[in-house]
Amino acid sequence: MNYREEALSYHQRGRKGKIEVVTTKPCITQRDLSLAYTPGVAEPCRDIEKNPDDVFNYTAKGNLVAVVSNGTAVLGLGDIGAAAGKPVMEGKGVLFKRFADIDVFDLELDTHDPDEIIRTVKMLEPTFGGINLEDIKAPECFYIEEELKKQMNIPVFHDDQHGTAIISGAGLLNALEIAGKKIEEVKIVFMGAGAAGIACAKFYIELGARLENIIMLDSKGVIYKGRKEGMNPYKEMFAQETDLRTLEEAMQDADVFAGVSVANVITKEMVKSMADQPIIFAMANPDPEITFEDAKAARDDVIMATGRSDYPNQANNVLGFPFIFRGALDVRATQINEEMKIAAAKALAALAKEPVPYSVMKAYRSQHLEFGPDYIIPKPFDPRVLLWEASAVAQAAIDSGVARQKIDIDAYKEQLEDHLGLSRHVMRVFINRAKKAPKRIVYPEGEHEAILKACEIILDENLAYPVLLGRKDVIEEKLDKLHMNIMKGVEIIHPKASPNIDSYAKKLYSMRKRKGLVESEAYQWIRNYSTFATMMVEMGDADGLVAGLTQHYSDVIRPALQIIGVRPDVHRVAGMYMMILKDQIYFFADATVNIEPTAEDLAKIAIMSANTVRRFGVEPKIAMLSFSNFGSSRHPLADKMCQATELVRQFDMNLLIDGEMQADTAVVPDIIEDVFPFSELAGKGGGNVLIFPNLEAGNIAYKLLQRLGGAVAVGPILMGMRKPVHLLQIGGNDEIDIVNMTAIAVLDSQSEDESMRGQSSIDLLVNHGD
């Protein structure tokens, strides 16, 4: 299938197009219907009539943007009409939703009359929280936006103008820093004097560029004082007193080229004629003004950005509009002003200098991304863009006086994580609890880049005091390569050179001498990083251990069992996963350690799971899973789960548990309430702690839910150890997983403090677990 066929199939298959409307409230029963529509809907109507601002509380207006176009300048296709432009506008809606969780209605207006567009959009103000103008040709687009901004009290933003300007502006700030040049001194050549070109030039001036240093060209050549052909008031702003007439002449000794025109207008010779370390932003789509290969062939010192994803430094508008509108909507801004645009650009420029998460490199199939000539703009799939840019825009709106709602920006950054999914919110709750009493956590794989990146987040959050095992020179070299400065916040210990190695070896020997360990072996064992780290925890030199990126579970668990051991009330350890879906949280056990547990083992796993879940602030509701429902199948495997249930009840009559039951009975409230109303879980919303009959079932279930159901798996959370030891998945490189497990290790360590046990449960987790 060629690319055209693939694109057509993408839009046509299944439900036609790319968007749909999904309800956010239930409409299943007669009661639901009466609340959603008449007569219940009259109540919010009455409140909004009395207080118009209540529209933000009772309707979707505060999260709803109109994407408005008349189809007169669609991509590089030109004036193709409103209907033909609809796929683009639907696509815009997809990007708003995917990157900033903003809902969109796309509105294609079949008119070329600017005043008709203005009148129509103005009448839509009661419906929408913001207006995104799209693919409207110049110069009409300037007039339409200017008038709507004057007449409307909600944000109006023409993305073709300002999106390109903001993203390329962020890239320009970083490119100039790399080149060692000042924005107020550089000579800038613009090719293209339409909506994007003029907006970019204006924005670069806002960033510090000087009008007299800008040469702008259109299809007729240089825009100069006195030129008559193809001029309009917007181009006239950039007319210069100059003898330059051609692009070739303008490029001589230029520091910066910004193109939003057509393909292949720049030659290698023009690039060679530019100043040292030239900056070329060839942003024509789909083909740039010069290819990346040709520009690099002409000058190896060129810093280049394009509009394409297959070249470095893509100036992609999706880095702008979703996050700008997110920040503007959340403070109920009356407009998107220059201060907010500058804040967005500077936030993006600053983010590009931060170490890039593994998850981002994985999404782009890149081995390494770091600030430099080939990475001056963040990637759209970097989840941090939402947190950095939206919060910067919101703060700028507050500071510049256009925000109708003042907010605490630090709290807002945490709220933004909700838009990234329940998993981010849940872990934010855990991190906030953990950071109230940070603990000393040791990482045996301290030389691993993912551990180092995680430590930067851990230190920023004040979550823990990291201890890295490894060679100091190797760690320092990697930190330098990653442009990270965390040496003051971490402790580095090389086990083989540690002054504690003798005392640790003697302690190990004393613990294992009657279990076959000779003294010389103890000295060999303790040089192993995992063994050394485990002994640190045992000796009280660390409060917890997090490991497993380069080791199998057994290689981490074995020394932990040999040195630390299990709690006095525990027969064997078990592993649990927290499975986070879009709006639910479940806990699966055992999915890591016990292959074929007995009824007694399962009862103890259930009790350990309940205690662990409570420590996280969630009230456990345990379902003992089988292929049978409450004796429907008489079989030893089903009997085992029933026996385990009774054993748990004998241990703790107040623990909410039932079984044996099938998986859907456990998680679908209607089944357990309608078919098995006698169950302890009936009327309780079903189970949230699922105990599997064996490791095979548990492991298969969590991996299927993770891969096919889109759940986020946090774990394995090792239960039953006398001191905190927690595992990472072998081969994992995502620093966020390491941060999450560190938070759990800190919480585990805190649990020994009675004051932490008395802390109230986390309402959000309880609600989602119901």
What residues are annotated to the active site?
37, 92
Angle at 409 between CA 406 and CA 413, to 5 degrees: 130
Phi/psi-derived region of residue 685, left when phi > 0, alpha when psi is between -120 and 50, beta in every other case: left
Beta bridge partners of 191: 217, 259
Residue 45 token pair: 């109507």
Residues in the chain: 770
Q: Do the beta carbons of residue 132 and residue 67 sit within 8 Å?
A: yes
CB count in 10 Å sphere of residue 4: 8
C-alpha to C-alpha distances, 204 to 110, 155, 169, nearest whole angstrom: 34, 22, 6
Phi, psi of 763 (to 5 degrees): -55, -40
Helix boundaries (H) for 599-659:
599-615, 636-651
Q: Angle at Cα 373 formed by Cα 371 and Cα 379, nearest 5°?
A: 55
The pair phi, psi for residue 51, each rounded to 5°, is: -135, 95
Task: Look at strands 585-589 and 574-580 and give their pairing.
Answer: antiparallel
CA dist 132 → 66, 69, 109, 267 (Å): 6, 9, 13, 36
The answer for residues whose C-beta is within 8 angstroms of residue 139's C-beta and 6 or more apart is 232, 233, 234
User: Cβ contacts of residue 610 below 8 Å, gap of 6+?
Assistant: 620, 622, 652, 655, 689
Task: State how far Cα 448 lies from the chain centre.
Answer: 22
**Pick from 307, 270, 265, 254: nearest CA to 289:** 265
CA torsion angle 51 57 61 63 (round to 10): 150
Can you list the pairs that 479-482 forms with residues at least 24 positions away whose Cβ atoms lie under 8 Å? 479/452, 481/370, 482/355, 482/370, 482/449, 482/452, 482/453
Please check whether residue 656 is in contact with residue 684, taking contact to mean a CB–CB distance below 8 angstroms: yes
> What is the CA 709 to chain-centroid distance, rounded?
19
Evaluate whether 357 touches 423 at the Cβ level (below 8 Å). no
* Structure tokens given for 702: 């969590």
Q: Which residue spans within 626-722 are E strands per DSSP?
A: 657-661, 689-691, 712-719
